[in-house]
Structure 1
Amino acid sequence: MNGPFEKWYDSAGVRGGVRRMYVGETEEGKVFYPQDQVPYLAHEALADLTAAQRRALTIRHLYQFLLSTTHLETRIVNTTAERIANGRAGLDLSNRMRLDAFKVYCDEGYHALYSLDLADQIAAATGIAIPPWDYGGFVDKLEEAGRRLLPDEPALVPLLQTVVFETLITAVLNEIPNDPTVVDVVRELTRDHALDEGHHHRFFAQFFHELWAGLDDRLREPVAHALPALVQACLTWDTEPIRASLVMSGVDSVTAAAVVADAYAASGANPHVCRATVRTFRSAGVLEVPGAEEAFAAHGLL
């Protein structure tokens, strides 16, 4: 059976892709980020925002999307990819899987580069600066969730977090490329990212099967019960940059906090987005653990 990276040297973005350049399409009525995917813009408290204020908010939302991903790719995924590639994941893995992990590492570094590159191009073209926020805030929260859920397994948690993110992200990335209202460069870059991540999904699904098969019996129940919460944590936005962006657009701080609280009160797991991730866990046998199916259902994953 062909592996997920059988044609990597010819097809990976970092090997043969082009640098995506913003050339200006907003005069055609296109947007940098679709407003219907910015949850807070429909809030009644923001009904009086001007078109310019809304535009600035969508651009900063795009920055958060690009740069949050950049932080997660380098701080979470590549940390795990390096451990797998260098045989430090605690598993007896084939050389092919280790080589594939290095391919993941190369891909993710390139994704981080071109995400920041595009944000920088858009900032220069629009005059909407990239705010000096730590866009890795949700990475910190993801790590905190892992420590809380599996406090005695610090080496295992990052492996699980990476599997969750890498089996979720393709579904997250598939929305924007199909939206003709979005500027082409954002659609093209997101499509590039999604193509690579499809291969990463296959790799990490295989890796999880190896990880689960080699897991100590005493750990299977706590891991199975922790996974739904890790999925939810991975899909929960860091809302502090959003609150700050609203304030930067002239919304008072009290209203900004209320809008964010309302818009993200139910954020987290989405059964459609999570379907492939849950399928990976089910095929490995996770949901056969007593109480696991109930835990996944309680988090809205089934």
Structure 2
Amino acid sequence: MTGQPPGPLDRWYEKAGVRGGVRRIFHEEEEQGRIFFPEALVPHLSHPEVKALAPERVRELTLRHLYQFLHATTHLETRVVNGAAEPVANGRAGYDFPTALRMDAFKVYCDEGYHALYSLDLADQVAAVSGVPVPDFDYGGFVTALQDAGRRLLPDDPLLAGQLQAVVFETLITSVLNEVPQDPTVVSTVRELMRDHAKDEGRHHRFFSAFFLQLWTRLDRSRRIAAGRALPAMIRAALDWDLGPVHGSLRMAGLGEEAARAVLAECYGTPAGDDRIRTIARSTVRLCTQAGAFDLPGVRDAFAAHGLQEAGQDHDDH
């Protein structure tokens, strides 16, 4: 619109992956000596019980971690993000959003369906070429955790809960996606797909940040308080590890039940995990600060209870 600053999706027809991207094809013979996921992002690979396994078992663990990431993406994009984008796009969200924002929500909807498609496609390709099948695990644990947080904290406001879940996920995922393409030890097809995804998600991050601020102005004080108190639990739910598939993968690698549980406890129950969550959540917490959420009663305490602090307060206890 004339006189308005450009929006994050204004050039969607030219820039979106679904409009002009290429299908990423995995060729194992071109990827010899590379790994399937950055080892630093697979905490259990550093555990002595795992390092003592045969190299082929470790390779399978890394492959299954890639499968978990890709399949969890399909669930989150379609069930969380598109579940929130559709009511906004169709004018069913209960607010008078401008038509331009509704069309942007449809653009997000198209993008996310495509992201789910190519994530599932790559997992299927890698399984076929590598000979390591995708296990029949529940990869929707993140969605369940997010939805449980919404139902628990906003039981009478499911539409708002869904919108907040999408805002949280979409303002967190870009930093995660950006980690993988930077690692030259990872197979190129995985890096390229993550880079493709990150480009779209950078635009989505800006869209959902702007959307959140518009949504916030349309909430009355009581709903703002409820939303502000719910957000930290949603952030934790989106970033806490989904350990069901990890546990299953460790058992498939040959670890006994006791050893598998010990690996999970030692690799995923540490302060380092909390530090990772705080780092990834910074931009989301900053957005809450910008909206004024921390000025509302109980919000700062709710964030602190989940190990999260107001932006700018990382080293300030007052």
Q: TM-score, normalised by structure 1?
A: 0.96
In structure 1, the partner of 2:288 is: 281
Distance in 1 (alpha carbons) for counterparts of 2:56 and 2:71: 23
Distance in 2 (alpha carbons) for counterparts of 1:228 and 1:25: 45
Give the count of matched residue pairs.
302
The worse-fitting range, judged by mean Cα deviation, of 118-127 and 28-37 is 28-37
8 Å Cα contact 1:25/1:183 also seen in 2 = no
1:64 to 62, 68, 90: 68
The worse-fitting range, judged by mean Cα deviation, of 237-246 and 108-117 is 237-246
Distance in 2 (alpha carbons) for counterparts of 1:188 and 1:182: 10
Identity of aligned residues (%): 57
User: How far is the alpha carbon of 1:173 from its aligned partner?
Assistant: 0.6
Q: Mapping of 1:8-87 within 5 angstroms?
A: 8-24=12-28, 28-87=32-91
The worse-fitting range, judged by mean Cα deviation, of 16-25 and 122-131 is 16-25
The worse-fitting range, judged by mean Cα deviation, of 91-100 and 147-156 is 147-156
User: How far is the alpha carbon of 1:300 from its aligned partner?
Assistant: 2.8
1:6 to 10, 19, 35: 10
Distance in 1 (alpha carbons) for counterparts of 2:267 and 2:253: 17
Q: Which runs of 5+ in 1 are unaligned?
A: none
In structure 2, the partner of 1:193 is: 197
In structure 2, the partner of 1:230 is: 234
Q: TM-score, normalised by structure 2?
A: 0.91
Distance in 1 (alpha carbons) for counterparts of 2:50 and 2:114: 37
RMSD: 1.4
1:204 to 199, 205, 208: 208
User: How far is the alpha carbon of 1:166 from its aligned partner?
Assistant: 0.4
Q: Which runs of 5+ in 2 are unaligned?
A: 310-318
1:179 to 169, 180, 183: 183
The worse-fitting range, judged by mean Cα deviation, of 259-268 and 273-282 is 259-268
**Paired amino acid for 2:114:** Y
**Paired amino acid for 1:274:** A
User: How far is the alpha carbon of 1:279 from its aligned partner?
Assistant: 1.5
User: How far is the alpha carbon of 1:27 from its aligned partner?
Assistant: 5.4
Distance in 2 (alpha carbons) for counterparts of 1:143 and 1:298: 19
**CA shift in 2, pair 1:195/1:25, >3 Å:** farther
User: How far is the alpha carbon of 1:28 from its aligned partner?
Assistant: 3.7
